[in-house]
Amino acid sequence: MPAAAVLPSPSPTLRPEPSPTPEPPPVLAPGDTHFGVNESFAAASFAHRLGARWTRWIIWWSEISPGGPEDFNDFYLDAETLRQEQRYGFNLLGVLLSTPPWAQADPSHGVRSVPAGLDRPIDDPANTWARFVRQMARYYAGRIDTWAIWNEVEIPPDGSNATYHTWAGTLEQYYRLLKVAWVAAHTENPNVRIVLSPYSYHRDKEWLTKLLRVASRDPEAPANGFFFDVVGLNLYRNPHDLYDRKRGGVPWAADPSDRIGVDERLAQFGLQKPVWITELNAMPYDDPAVPGWDPAARNDGFRITLDEQASFVIQAYALAIAAGYETIFWQAMQDDPPPVPDELWGLVRYSDDPANDDPARVRPAYTAYQVAARYLSNADRVSLVTVDRPDPAGYRRFAPRYQWWIHCVVFQRGTQRVSVLWNGGGTPIRVGVAQTGSTARVVDKYGNEQPLAPQGGQWVLALPAATRHFNLFGGDPPGYYYIGGAPLLLVEEDVAPETPVARPRVF
C-alpha cells in the first residue's frame, strides 16, 4: 500500500520578490527593411542609430565546430549580442562558409574544400555539411532564419581577386552544397530562407545563368525553384550598376552579358525571386584620421573621396530601391582591425569597443546613410525619371547609362513626396521640379535643411557638378561620371498620392 502522505510544515510568510522591471523597447531610428549593414554588432552604439533593419554576420564553420561534429561552440555567436541586435530592430542574415579540417574532402584545399560526404543522403551522419546545417537551423530557429550558403564562390584561386577565393569545388558541387543546405535547414525550421551564394558579377558575369542551367537538370528541384529563396549580389563603386544588374534593359551595351539583368535571367528559367545586395561600398582614400593610413599612396584610381562616398550612399540606395532590391547591405559597419587595413570599409572608423560612441569615428557616409534611411524608407510608391542628354558618339555602349544626365528618384510616402536629384554631368546645373505640394524644403546629404519658396509653380534647385570619372584601363567615356554630383532631397508635403511624377526641367 502507498506510504502515508507527509504534509509539509507551514512556511513562514515571505514578502514576494519584486518582479524585474521590464526592459523598455528602444526608440528605433527611421528606416525600413531595404536598409542593411554588415556586422552591425562591431559598432553597435552607432549601428543602433543608423536606421538599418538587417545585418549580416559571417559564420565560419571551421570556428564554430573546429574539433568535429560534436564540438559545437554555442558561444561563438554571443547570445546577448544577438538579443540586443534583434531588440534594436535588426533581422539577421548568417553566411555559412569555411570547411573545418575534420570535414574536408580534400585537405589540400583547406577551408575552401568541398565538405566530406556531400553526396550522401541528408540524414546520413557521414554528410558532414547536412549535419552542420541542421544543427545551425535548429539551434538558431527564430533568431536567425535566413542563411546564405558561402560567399562569392565564383572567384577563382588566381587573379586580382584571389584573396576572396572561398570555394575550391566545381559549379555542380556548389549546387549540391546549396541543395543539401536548403533541404537540411527546412527539415529543422520551416520558416528558413536560403540565400544563393552572393556573387560579385564582374568576375564571372554568366555565373548565375550557368548555375541555373545546372539546377534546371535536377529532377528533384521544388516547383518554386531550384533550392534557393533569394539571389544575392555584391556590387561596388557605380550606382548605375545596381540598377542595371537587376533590371537590365540595356540592349546597346558592348558586352552581351550586360544587356540583361538578374530578373530576366531568372525569368528565363521560369523563376521570380527576391534579389538582395549583400555587399555595397565605394571605398575612400582620403581619410587622414586612420592611424598609419597614407591618403596620397592610397589614391589608386579606384578609390574616391569621403565626400563623394557620402553622395554614393544616397545615389546607390535611391537607385537600388527603384530597381526593386528587397534589401541592400552596406559593407561594413566599421573598418577592419589593425594593422593598417587595405580598405576603409566602415561607415565608422575602427574601435575594439562596440559601445564606443566617439563622434570622431563617424565618416560622412554614416550621416548620409541616416539621411537615406530617414527619407527613402516606407514608401508607398517609388518612381525613377531622368532627363537624358544626346549621345552622338554612342558612348552608352561602354557606359550604358551615359545618357542619364539629371537623375530623379521619387519616393511617395502618404502625402509626403521626396525627390532625390543629382547631376550626372561635369557642369553645375539648375533644375525646376513641378510644384505638387503646399510646402517644400531641400535636404542635403548631411541632413542640413532649408525651406524653399516656389518660383512660377516650380521648386528650383542648383545641382552641383559630378567629379568622379574613371581613368584606368582606357577609362570612362568623355563626360561620364560614375558617381554623380552631390544629391539634394526635395521634400514636399501635402502631395496627393495619385499625383503623377514629372521630369525635372533644366534651365
If we measure between CA atoms, which residue out of 420, 432, 414, 435 comes closest to residue 498? Answer: 414
Q: What's the predicted TM-score (pTM) here?
A: 0.94
Q: Tell me the average pLDDT across 315-337.
A: 98
N-term to C-term CA, the chain: 103
Give the start-end residues of each E strand in 135-243.
Answer: 146-149, 193-195, 231-236
Inter-residue contact 419 to 440 (CB < 8 Å): no
- Grid coordinates 556531400 are at which residue? 118
Confidence (pLDDT) at 21:
73
Confidence (pLDDT) at 17:
56
Cell digits of residue 441: 524644403
46 φ/ψ angles, rounded to the nearest 5 degrees: -80, -40
Quickly state the pLDDT bin for 19 (edges 50, 70, 90). Answer: low
40 φ/ψ angles, rounded to the nearest 5 degrees: -55, -35
Residue 15 reports pLDDT greater than 90: no
Strand 439-444 with 327-330, pairing: unpaired
Cell digits of residue 148: 546564405
Compute CA distances 375 → 318, 436, 499, whole Å.
10, 18, 19
Average pLDDT in the chain: 94
Compute CA distances 94 → 58, 127, 241, 382, 415, whole Å.
6, 21, 25, 29, 37
Cell digits of residue 116: 566530406
Residue 498 neighbours by CB distance under 10 Å: 7
CA dihedral (321, 325, 331, 333) in degrees, to 10, reads: 60
**Secondary structure of residue 493 in the 3-state scheme:** strand
| 32-42 residue pLDDT tens | 999 999 999 99
492, burial (CB in 10 Å: exposed 0-12, middle 13-18, buried 19+):
buried
Give the architecture (CATH level 2) of 35-376: Alpha-Beta Barrel (3.20)
Quickly state the pLDDT bin for 12 (edges 50, 70, 90). Answer: very low
Cell digits of residue 130: 547536412
User: Measured between alpha carbons, how far is 40 from 347 in angstroms, rounded to an integer?
Assistant: 10
Give the start-end residues of each E strand in 102-253.
Answer: 146-149, 193-195, 231-236
Cell digits of residue 79: 547570445
272, burial (CB in 10 Å: exposed 0-12, middle 13-18, buried 19+):
exposed
Q: Tell me the average pLDDT across 89-117.
A: 98
Inter-residue contact 389 to 425 (CB < 8 Å): yes
**Secondary structure of residue 465 in the 3-state scheme:** coil
| 54-73 residue pLDDT tens | 999 999 999 999 999 999 99
57 φ/ψ angles, rounded to the nearest 5 degrees: -120, 130
Residue 137 reports pLDDT greater than 50: yes
Residue 338 reports pLDDT greater than 70: yes
If we measure between CA atoms, which residue out of 124, 284, 266 comes closest to residue 208? Answer: 266
For residue 177, the surrounding DSSP H or E stretch is helix 171-188
Inter-residue contact 446 to 370 (CB < 8 Å): no
Residue 23 reports pLDDT greater than 90: no
Q: For the chain, which residues make up each domain, given as ranges?
A: 35-376, 381-506
Confidence (pLDDT) at 22:
76
**Secondary structure of residue 386 in the 3-state scheme:** strand
| 246-262 residue pLDDT tens | 999 889 999 999 999 99
Confidence (pLDDT) at 125:
96
User: Measured between alpha carbons, how far is 421 from 419 in angstroms, rounded to an integer?
Assistant: 6
User: Measured between alpha carbons, how far is 377 from 323 in angstroms, rounded to an integer?
Assistant: 14
| 435-487 residue pLDDT tens | 999 999 999 999 999 999 999 999 999 999 999 999 999 999 999 999 999 99
DSSP 336: P
Cross-strand bridge partners of residue 416: 413
Give the architecture (CATH level 2) of 381-506: Sandwich (2.60)
User: Measured between alpha carbons, how far is 379 from 507 in angstroms, rounded to an integer?
Assistant: 29
Residue 79 neighbours by CB distance under 10 Å: 10
User: Measured between alpha carbons, how far is 86 from 79 in angstroms, rounded to an integer?
Assistant: 11
| 348-397 residue pLDDT tens | 999 999 999 999 999 999 999 999 999 999 999 999 999 999 999 999 99
Quickly state the pLDDT bin for 340 (edges 50, 70, 90). Answer: confident
Cell digits of residue 404: 542619364
